[in-house]
Chain A
Amino acid sequence: MKKILLMGNPNTGKSVVFNRLTGANVIISNYPGTTVDFTQGKMRIDEEEMMVIDVPGTYSLDAGDKAEEVAVRMLKGGDIVINVVDATNLEKSLNLTMQLIKKKKPMIIALNFWDETKHKGITIDFQKLEEMLGVPCVPICAVTGEGIKKLTERLKEAKFSKFDYEDKEKWHVIGDIIGQVQELSHHDHTFMERLGDISTIPVFGIPLALVILFFTFKIIRFIGEGLIGYVFEPVFEKLWTPLLLKLSAILGSDGIIHDILIGKLIEGKIDYGQSFGLLTTGLFVPIGAVLPYVFAFYVMLSVLEDCGYLPRLAVLVDGLMHRLGIHGLAIIPMMLGLGCNVPGILSTRILATRRERFIAVTLLSIAVPCAALQAMVVGLMGKHMVYGLGVVYGTLFVVWLVLGILMAHLVSGTSPEIFMEIPPYRRPYLTHLLKKTWIRTKWFIKEAIPFVLLGVFIVNILYTLGIIQFVGKYTAPVISGIFGLPKEAIGALLVGFLRKDVAVGMLAPLALNLKQLIIASIVLTMYFPCIATFSTLVKELGFVDMLKASAIMIAAVLIVGGMLNLIL
């Protein structure tokens, strides 16, 4: 099977082209480095099946970082190269094109963002470019799909360029080509361009960042609460509860099977928070309480990603992040981690050194609560929401800062400086937003529901066998002595290994006071990652670093939990 390689600078829309060619679903974002590993898919042209590979974006083939290494290696095995070029940034893009030409592979150039060139006063004579380089050049607009058909039609015309030049003359040659094919007419800066620059000037940028983050969380809560109040709760209560009550009656309202499936009836009724059966709490927690917030979070994250705000946020916080031994780009894994720690940890691959990755992963798994946990904590705080959440988030932020500063001093290795391209603001496309949100939400459903059910099942077994009560007796010195929590809370901590949301749910029947709720929420966030996060952590860091991270976690939670118990 022929291998087609999609190559180009970071953030030139290779993944969008890939989706167009293969019909696959790949996550696309408006910041460089979304594709750290390659993705492959299949396409069919004239009855011939071909493999399409979305190669990580690179500015050059000098193998200066991991993405470039991957790209150089993949290039050897490829049959045809589709060089995706940013038409609004021809000069920079041609740098890679020139290097690709030297590799003597059949090539075709796709000039992406063709529609944007008009707004920016750029005119490119693509036929002339085709003549000069001797490879087909096709203008496309990947997000709308314009030109993709032409690209596939001309794919068979791909050939290797006879264009030759001396390496040290590279920029000179590029300048010469640009001079002949591109014309710039004066254009006034658009509103988006001005806004793009203003949001990196601290005086405007920092207040703007605070406003954007504030409204992001407002909107997440609005969507989440709306979905719960108007859709999920009514569905559960009006449709699901009557069915369960019938089932409960059939099972005789008692017995082991009843307890596992339905759980305990509270005053003859099903209480989705406290009954703790597989079909009651086990389904309600992931679907009724957590999913709406996860969905809302991913909608907003996708908007921030696609419009290109995140790199600007990264630049603004870079100075602060350097004190923690990581650079500004590490804000992206942190933001992803607020949804789910697993993709957060995976995305630390955009950081270059081991030291940075260790610090980022450790901070993420200790001090960044996932959406599932946050959704349950919000539910639990009830009328003390503002104060309770304020203390929880405030404490976690301080922990994040202090731990980061400590690690920056103690962890050996280097942290390079930030150096990255800042993409222009782009209007997010609704279909892409929905697709991306759907991919992520589907992933959550697939990952979360089995673990929640398993968690609820194990809780029932552990209670029935008396194991939780038994462990509770021996861990009481820590749980009650240090954290000031009732010894029954050990059940929640044990289940926290499996799912944090179920664990928070288990706190509900314990009738904790506000102080205990706050401490329990913080301890649950910090003490140990859930099993999915944990296995990702081991995979990404290795066994030894996992042990180090775990030691930091345990020490941190004992100190912070204990201190809160004394202060609050």
Chain B
Amino acid sequence: MNGLISLVNMRSGQNGKIVQIDGGAGMNCRLDALGLRVGKTIKKVSRQLMRGPVIVSHGNTRAAVGFGMAQKIWVEIEQP
């Protein structure tokens, strides 16, 4: 598939659609509670140093996603 990339490797400022989440039910459940689920379009705001969290935004919500979790979230980049 073209342009499938983990949240960690996405560039800041890019938009993308979540296509796959490689986590267990618990992780999916936590992500779902903040509206992060397969099919959702999100924007990566920034990434922190020292394997810190990735900040994503969708609508008016901003969330900090830990590095390990972010590695398991796969995104299809939307070309501007």
Contacts and interface: CB of A to CB of B under 8 A. Distances in A.
Contact of B52 (A120, A171, A318): A318
A171 B35 CA distance: 9
Given A320-B50, A322-B51, A418-B53, A197 B45 contact: yes
A64 B29 contact: yes
A328 B50 CA distance: 12
User: For this complex, into which size category does the number of interface residues on chain A fall?
Assistant: 35 or more
Interface string A178-219: 000000000000000000110011100110000000000000
A83 interface: no
A89 B59 CA distance: 8
A328 B26 CA distance: 21
Contact of B53 (A197, A315, A323): A315
28 contacts: A59-B33, A60-B29, A64-B29, A64-B30, A88-B60, A92-B35, A95-B33, A197-B57, A200-B46, A200-B48, A202-B46, A202-B47, A202-B48, A205-B46, A314-B64, A315-B64, A316-B48, A316-B52, A319-B50, A328-B53, A416-B66, A417-B67, A417-B68, A417-B69, A418-B66, A419-B66, A421-B62, A422-B63
A201 B46 CA distance: 5
A320 B49 CA distance: 8
A26 to B, nearest CB: 24
Cβ-closest 9 pairs across A and B: A417-B66, A319-B50, A319-B52, A59-B33, A201-B46, A422-B62, A318-B52, A60-B33, A315-B64
A319 B63 contact: no
Interface residues of B, number: 32
Contact of B49 (A64, A122, A311, A319): A319
Nearest to A120: B60
Contacts of A328: 52-53, 64
Contacts of A315: 48, 52-53, 55, 64
Contacts of A418: 53, 64-66
Contacts of B60: 88-89, 120, 122, 424
Contacts of A197: 45-46, 55, 57, 62
A424 B59 CA distance: 12
B12 A201 contact: yes
A405 to B, nearest CB: 13
A327 B64 CA distance: 12
Nearest to B43: A197
Nearest to B27: A419
Contacts of B12: 201
Interface string A423-454: 01000000000000000000000000000000
Nearest to A58: B33
Nearest to A61: B33
Contact of A421 (B29, B47, B63, B66): B63
A320 to B, nearest CB: 6
A458 interface: no
Nearest to A92: B35
